[in-house]
Amino acid sequence: MKNTKALPPGSWLGMMGGGQLGRMFSSAASRLGYHVLVLDPGEVSPAGEVSARRIQRSYKDREALDEIASICPAVSTEFENVPSPSLAYLAEKGCRTAPLAEAVAISQDRSAEKAFIASTGVPVAPHLAILSDEDCVDADPDLFPGILKTARLGYDGKGQVSVDTPADLLQAYHSLGSVDCILEKKLQLKTECSVIVCRGFDGESATFPVFENHHKNGILAETVLPARIPEDAEAEARLYAIRIANGLKYIGVLCIEFFILEDGSVVANETAPRPHNSGHATIEACMTSQFEQQVRTMAGLPLGNTTLLSPAVMLNILGDSWETADGLKEPDWDAVLAIPGVKLHLYGKAEARHGRKMGHVTCLGKTPEEALERAKKVAVILRLPTPV
């Protein structure tokens, strides 16, 4: 690949997206001496607030893309729905893009994603593309009970409906707007987990310890690091993650969500072509964070050591923590920060809303048990689901 020489500190790195992942990326880049230029269309930009420069334009705006290409030798993304043609355009202009447009395009379509993962030999749930009413009528009864998901743009539980019987499928398909969907068979899950794999322009890769994830209403509520799963399942998940990244010729930071089934087998669920909510604990708990790895891959630097320094429990803070019987009220941050080993990250969002990710707390401990006890205290203060 061309233009893979290491970029020296003082270089500009482009970030497509202005959310909290871009915010944490910008902090990591700044610490290593890089300047970040953020492109996003929003009125409020958590990433732009802490970056050297921001362009408030559409991700498809050619003038804005030309400006990025003239300033930034490397560009990355902080959410999966950045238009892949924009990344391809930047690559044509000479930018090294991490990830590549082709990899992002696959991750943006669940049907293409499932087909690709299966092609690498990594197990996936039985599934069927639903593109018409006829597909609903002809669906194999063995796929039920299942989950119908929109093929594109779904996240945090949005764009999906449980379907218990074939009779439910047509109605569910119409409720999602009759857009392209995928039907996935529900499996007997024991644990949901994720693996973050980092892969450089030289093809070298590294994985973090497996993250154990717990969701509420389709939104990640808690991540435990390291995952409480058998060693052979952890090794298999990390191996599968590298296989998928290699197959995609992926550059950058990639998250793969996995299911550990009741029989102990490991099944890939979906990918996210960026750092991931489940990896936030790496900022304090690992030798190198997922965001520093994103900087390193973009800049053509050696990958960092992913060794776990401390067990951790990460809790998402939603806008719900501001909600009281008397209206919105600022949570008791003093009480949270009085707990030893607690690290608070707030994302600078202007308005707290129900279900909106406003920040996270990472609770560290000398042992997994100590980290969990501290997380339980935080959960009481912020009225979060009790960690398990």
For 141-172, write each residue's pLDDT tens digit. 999 999 999 998 766 667 889 999 888 899 99
How far does Cα 80 stand from its chain's mean position? 8
Q: Please check if 185 is assigned to a binding site.
A: yes
The CATH classification number of 126-185 equals 3.30.1490.20
Q: Please check if 155 is assigned to a binding site.
A: yes
At 298-316, the pLDDT tens digits run: 999 999 999 999 999 999 9
Say what the pTM is. Answer: 0.94
Q: Please check if 157 is assigned to a binding site.
A: yes
- Residue 294: name the closest of 270, 310, 276, 315 by CA: 276
At 21-41, the pLDDT tens digits run: 999 999 999 999 999 999 999
- Is the link from the previous residue into 46 a cis peptide, with omega within 30 of 0? no
* Alpha carbon distance 200, 37 (integer Å): 21
Which letter, b or e, does each residue of 45-80 get, where b requires 16 or more Cβ atoms within 10 Å of its Cβ?
Answer: bbbbbbbeebbebebebeebbebbbebbbbbbbbbb
Give the pLDDT band of residue 3 (cuts 50, 70, 90): low
Q: Please check if 212 is assigned to a binding site.
A: no
Which conformational region is residue 14 in: left (phi greater than 0), alpha (psi within -120 to 50 degrees), or beta?
Answer: beta
Q: What pLDDT does 159 receive?
A: 81
Q: Please check if 59 is assigned to a binding site.
A: no
Which tokens go with 255?
């998250």
Strand 12-16 vs strand 35-39: parallel, antiparallel, or unpaired?
parallel
To the question of domain 12-97 being in CATH 3.90.960.10, the answer is no
Q: What pLDDT does 367 receive?
A: 98
* Alpha carbon distance 246, 153 (integer Å): 25
Q: Please check if 366 is assigned to a binding site.
A: no
Q: Residues 6, 300: contact at Cβ < 8 Å? A: yes
**Could you tell me the residue ranges of all domains in the chain?**
12-97, 126-185, 189-382
Domain 189-382, what fold?
D-amino Acid Aminotransferase; Chain A, domain 1 (3.30.470)
Residue 322 has pLDDT above 70, yes or no: yes
Residue 1 has pLDDT above 50, yes or no: no
Q: What pLDDT does 325 receive?
A: 82
Q: What pLDDT does 156 receive?
A: 60
Single-letter residue type at 114: K
Q: Please check if 323 is assigned to a binding site.
A: no
Q: Please check if 173 is assigned to a binding site.
A: no
What mean pLDDT comes out for the span 340-364?
A: 96
Q: Please check if 154 is assigned to a binding site.
A: yes
Residue 104 has pLDDT above 80, yes or no: yes
How far does Cα 136 stand from its chain's mean position? 30
- Residue 69: name the closest of 39, 30, 27 by CA: 39
Q: Please check if 160 is assigned to a binding site.
A: yes
Q: Please check if 184 is assigned to a binding site.
A: yes
Q: Please check if 149 is assigned to a binding site.
A: yes
Strand 96-97 vs strand 74-77: parallel, antiparallel, or unpaired?
parallel
| DSSP per position, 17-83 | --SHHHHHHHHHHHHTT-EEEEE---SS-HHHHTSSEEE-S-TT-HHHHHHHHHH-SEEEESSTTS-
Q: Please check if 93 is assigned to a binding site.
A: no
